[in-house]
Amino acid sequence: MSISRSVTYALGVVTAAALIAGCSGGSQSSGLGGVSGLTPAASHGAGDLARHSRNPGDLFVGVKWTGNVHPDHHKSWLAPDIAGAPRLYFASDSGTDDVYIFTLPGMTLKGTLTGFDEPQGECSDTKGNIYIANTGEEQVLEYSRTGTLLNTYSDSYGYPVGCAVDPATGNLAVTDIFGFSGAGQVLVFTSPSSSPTVLSNPSQYYYYFAGYGPGSDLWVSGKDDSGAYMVSACGSSSCSTVSLSGGTIYFPGGVQWDGTRSEWVLFDQLCDDTTEACSYPVSGSGKLGTATVYETYNGEPVCDLVQGMIAANGKRYVAGGDYEYCGTADTSANRWGYTGGGEPTNYTTSSVDEPIGAAVSTK
């Protein structure tokens, strides 16, 4: 399936939103998941159509796709005791245009934020605030952990699908999966009203998820112009390609610095070129370590963990949604042990339809 959504350029006009979820099966010659026989137009043209396995004929049109989207037109709601929860998992859902708030570890639903237009990747800051890429409106929204909208970061460069907050500076990095005129980029904001610094790697075309590490180093997962996975390391003015060895990552997922183990972690939505999701620790030399593999609550391969978040003191678990387009389990929001993986220690199938982004707010 596509990384969040698909993107198509037709007659020079963007006619589809972002590509965020890995798609199973089929050729990947289009640069995304699973649609063969597409030839890019001159400006990276008819580029990227993602296949949704429940209906391979669905195309993603406009900023919405023409598949099973069921927008929620109700008002947001929050449980009265939400402020007292030590840890909250925010799950963006592009199937309902909502963001759900669950307690951790219990996975009890404590709130629903509504009114989004294609919510995708998320991130959090040291204050416990949550940032949500509202892709369809070309913005990133900052919320308090109790659901108050604090700030809006407008993106006039492209379609934002991911973000990361630098714990050292408070700067917000926003990843545009692609730009209005072609390749994507990274935007670094010092404040909601500031003009962002624009960073890019000439070798990278699609920009998915990002994470900050020591020294304000920023890693960004994505794809090159041919559709091959790659990661960029970005400094204050530019980005360069990270040379990986010891394995292959097939579809971009989350990126995170694991401060407990002093290593980067890269998620793969299509581990070993299958529908199973996994994550790899990365050594200082760029070598991929042993994969942590994530399963459904009934022991089947996870079909689509789009963005996982390693969380808790000691980085002991991963929070993330499993969009089960394979049909072997119900779609769920989950808490997996880390680095053990396997079946989730806690999960819920309540509310979630097509979970994409994950962020954890710690009190």
Residue 180 makes CB contacts below 8 A (sequence gap 6+) with 14, 157, 158
> Higher-confidence residue: 339 or 52?
339
| Predicted pLDDT at 50 | 25
| Predicted pLDDT at 22 | 72
| Predicted pLDDT at 71 | 63
> Higher-confidence residue: 25 or 122?
122
Query: Other CB atoms closer than 10 Å to residue 37's CB: what's the count?
Result: 7
Is 68's pLDDT higher than 90? Answer: no
Residue 42 pLDDT class (50, 70, 90 cuts) = very low
| Predicted pLDDT at 43 | 31
**β 239-241/229-234 pair status:** antiparallel
| Predicted pLDDT at 272 | 96
Return mean pLDDT, the chain: 84
Is 36's pLDDT higher than 90? Answer: no
Is 30's pLDDT higher than 90? Answer: no
Which tokens go with 130? 């949550």
pLDDT tens for each residue of 86-140: 999 999 999 999 999 999 999 999 999 999 999 999 999 999 999 999 999 999 9
pLDDT tens for each residue of 312-332: 989 999 999 999 999 999 999
Q: Are 95 and 118 in contact (CB under 8 A)?
A: no
The CA distance from 221 to 52, in Å, is 22
Q: Are 346 and 325 in contact (CB under 8 A)?
A: no
Give residue for tokens 């109700």: 74
Is 69's pLDDT higher than 80? Answer: no
Q: Phi-psi region for residue 81, left (φ > 0), alpha (ψ -120 to 50) or beta?
A: alpha
Side by side, the strands of the sheet bearing 341-348 are: 252-258, 263-268, 277-282, 292-294, 341-348, 332-337, 317-322, 309-311
pLDDT tens for each residue of 173-226: 999 999 999 999 999 999 999 999 999 999 999 999 999 999 999 999 999 999
Among 24-33, 144-153, 279-288, the minimum mean pLDDT is found in: 24-33
Dihedrals φ, ψ of 84, to 5°? -85, -5
Percent of the chain with pLDDT over 70: 81
| Predicted pLDDT at 133 | 98
Q: Calculate mean pLDDT across residues 73-81.
A: 91
All domains of the chain in start order, with CATH: 77-362 (2.120.10.30)
